[in-house]
């Protein structure tokens, strides 16, 4: 007798080849509208599913997990970050959680460098001028930005993405310093040309550009608070492609408006899509709609990792990308 197929519920649209393969392997319910599921829809999903495939727009918290059916045994997240999932509660209820680590490393590092260039070379200002037909011709004193070579890059969070950013910065001739929960091994520091700063305050004070590449956890919430933001140089730039909650967005906005920080490049925001409207008014800020991992290749690789995690689980084995609370 053939084995019963797993009931898999997917909360958002995924690349078509991934959805097709999921449908071939499992009993799948897809979200064809590509809009975030309502809370009621998520409740219905966890009640019926053996496997839930959420994304960062879904809040898989303790109250939701308390309503899960007996069959829910795996939350196979489409994405690396799991701060939207109560992993500890899931584990207590016998529900495994997997993610897709490492897939977005290169894409996010690319976007970090793109934001650094966009802010320091004033690319959006030039683009806006050209699109409006307002360019009056070349002038030796117009559109002056700053050279990257020689600028000290501070990296907050030296995991996969932070290290990939450091490698790119080296090609631009940027000295790299970093702060991390744990210091890297000497051979990795040597390879990256990176200097460790045990004190985050010291790193923030020294750097010309600060790249935030750490996850959102209770210990990193508002890690860049008003006090630390005030330690930055007036001509420094802050770039965030990790999680918006790491930065006190209101404090950052006030300082940008006051000219106490030269500029910022933000791909993530403290309150998701609810962006501080005062940020949109500033010419020294580049805002992107969470595009850091948005490549065709990256999305396909994420989908393939989700497939592998579910198939391995269905075969009775530990998913290769199993998340445990100690990893957070």
Residues lower than pLDDT 50 in the chain = 1, 326-328
Looking at residue 3, what is its pLDDT? 77
Looking at residue 114, what is its pLDDT? 98
- Alpha-carbon Rg for the chain, nearest whole angstrom, is 22
Looking at residue 325, what is its pLDDT? 63
Structural domains of the chain, with CATH: 7-102+296-327 (3.40.50.720), 105-287 (3.40.50.720)
Q: Which residue bears the tokens 């450091």?
A: 166
Report whether 42 contacts 23 (CB < 8 A).
no
CA angle (238 as vertex; 236, 240 as ends), nearest 5: 170
Start-to-end C-alpha separation, the chain: 41
Q: Where are the beta strands (DSSP E) in 197-304?
A: 209-212, 237-240, 263-266, 285-287
Looking at residue 327, what is its pLDDT? 42
Give Cα separations from 168 to 58, 172, 313 (angstroms).
Answer: 32, 7, 37
Question: What is the sign of the dihedral through the CA atoms of 324, 87, 46 and 302?
Answer: negative
Looking at residue 291, what is its pLDDT? 95
Q: Where are the beta strands (DSSP E) in the chain?
A: 7-10, 27-29, 51-53, 74-76, 96-98, 153-156, 176-179, 194-196, 209-212, 237-240, 263-266, 285-287
Whole-model pTM above 0.95?
A: no
Cα distance between residue 75 and residue 85, in whole Å: 9
């Amino acid at each position: 007798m053939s084995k019963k197929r797993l009931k898999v519920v997917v909360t958002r649209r995924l690349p078509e080849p991934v959805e097709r393969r999921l449908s071939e392997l499992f009993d799948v319910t897809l979200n064809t509208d590509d809009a975030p599921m309502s809370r009621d829809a998520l409740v219905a999903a966890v009640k019926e599913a053996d496997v839930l495939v959420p994304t960062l727009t879904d809040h898989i918290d303790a109250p939701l997990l308390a309503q899960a059916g007996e069959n829910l045994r795996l939350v196979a997240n489409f994405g690396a970050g799991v701060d939207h999932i109560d992993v500890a509660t899931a584990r207590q209820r016998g529900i495994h959680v997997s993610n897709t680590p490492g897939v977005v490393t290169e894409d996010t590092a690319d976007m970090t460098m793109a934001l650094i260039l966009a802010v320091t070379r004033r690319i959006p200002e030039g683009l806006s001028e050209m699109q409006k037909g307002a360019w009056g011709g070349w002038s030796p004193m117009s559109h002056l930005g700053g050279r990257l070579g020689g600028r000290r890059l501070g990296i907050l969070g030296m995991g996969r993405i932070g290290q990939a950013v450091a490698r790119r910065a080296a090609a631009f001739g940027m000295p790299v310093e970093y702060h991390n929960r744990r210091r890297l091994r000497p051979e990795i520091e040597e390879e990256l040309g990176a200097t460790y700063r045990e004190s985050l305050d010291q790193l923030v004070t020294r750097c010309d550009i600060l790249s935030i590449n750490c996850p959102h956890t209770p210990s990193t919430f508002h890690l860049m608070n008003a006090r630390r933001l005030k330690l930055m140089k007036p001509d420094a730039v802050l770039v965030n492609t990790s999680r918006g909650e790491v930065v006190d967005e209101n404090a950052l906005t006030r300082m940008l408006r006051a000219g106490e920080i030269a500029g910022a490049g933000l791909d993530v925001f403290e309150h998701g899509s609810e962006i501080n409207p005062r940020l949109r008014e500033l010419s020294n800020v580049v805002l992107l709609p969470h595009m850091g991992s948005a490549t065709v290749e990256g999305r396909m690789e994420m989908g393939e990792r989700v497939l592998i995690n579910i198939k391995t689980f269905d075969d009775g084995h530990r998913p290769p990308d199993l998340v445990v609370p100690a990893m957070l």
